[in-house]
Amino acid sequence: MKLARYAIGLAAGLALTASAALADTTTLRITLQLPMKSHLGENLSIFKQKVEEISGGDIKVEIYDSAQLYKDDEVPQAVGSGSIEMGVASLTRYVGDVPAVDVFYMPFLLNSDELVRKAVAPGSPVRGPLDEAILDTGARVLWWQAYGGSVLLSKGGPIRTPADLKGKKVRVFGKTLGEWIKAAGGAPTMVSGSEQYIAYQRGTVDVGMTGVSGVDARRLWEVMDTITVTNNADIEFIVVVNERFWQGLPEQHRAWINEAALFAETDVRDRMADIEATSYKAALENGMTVYEPTAEEIEAWKASAQPVYDQFLADSGELGARVLAAARALND
């Protein structure tokens, strides 16, 4: 499947390569599902400013936000095939090709800033093998964008324990997150980030799962009234570039892009705590209730999660077992 998808983009990739080699300047088009006012949009603006500055204008960046070109679930194919040079996608959108990416969505595994920073460090034993595996899809990971911890959204009160999910449809954005909801007694429903608002407004789902910054960026307080701070998973987005296009760029252009990418990655990671604090403040100011589960309630959630680990190991093979072991070792 990977080879087939890679082959599909051969013609497009060669065209991108040729245009990059012949042009005096390099143009990077980036697709983003979130609005520019989101922190991921702001992060792309930081990259754009940095790379255009250090390249003296030899590299131009065009950002297409709010899923105007591609939805989140369409980005891996669009970038891997060469339909667009770059894109931003939730890490879990690569689970079809690289099941091991969902190690970041294992319940309560990476549930502190210290653990997350160790796991996402470039070349770490958790991130490094995943970046390499994603390259097989025809896309190269340029940088990771922090999105914060996962929370649950609801109307009429918090989701305190798995018992509160019984009979409820829950918006999820990844396979492993869906397995966790299923194990906890809910009914997982895949809904793209750009379609969340409508799903909550229409009652397509009863409960939401997202990062708190998404509540702010998408004004989800208009359709949900309660945030339960489960922090059950670390949400990561990745910025990817078509590999054939990348290999066709001048070496200096690749160096400038890598420099700007590292700058952008460090900036968003270092600001994540403040971004989340600001988002929680905005949620409260707009009438939402923020509920912090008790230690006993968190234990109830953890107790329901073991089947998720078993399924992950069954689905993700040797690579999954390797990165899961590496993630667990970060606690040592």
**In the chain, % of residues over pLDDT 70:** 93
What is the spatial distance between Cα 89 and Cα 31, in angstroms, rounded to a whole number?
9
Amino acid 324: pLDDT:
98
Which of 225, 315, 217 is closest to 208 using CA atoms? 225
In the chain the domains, ranked by start, together with CATH numbers, are: 2-329 (3.40.190.170)
Output the pTM of the full model: 0.85
Tokens at residue 89, please?
């996608």
Amino acid 230: pLDDT:
95
Q: Residue 278: CA atoms inside 13 Å, Cβ hemisphere, count? A: 11
What phi, psi does 170 have (nearest 5°)? -125, 125
Q: Give pLDDT tens digits for 156-198.
A: 999 999 999 999 999 998 889 999 999 999 999 999 888 999 9
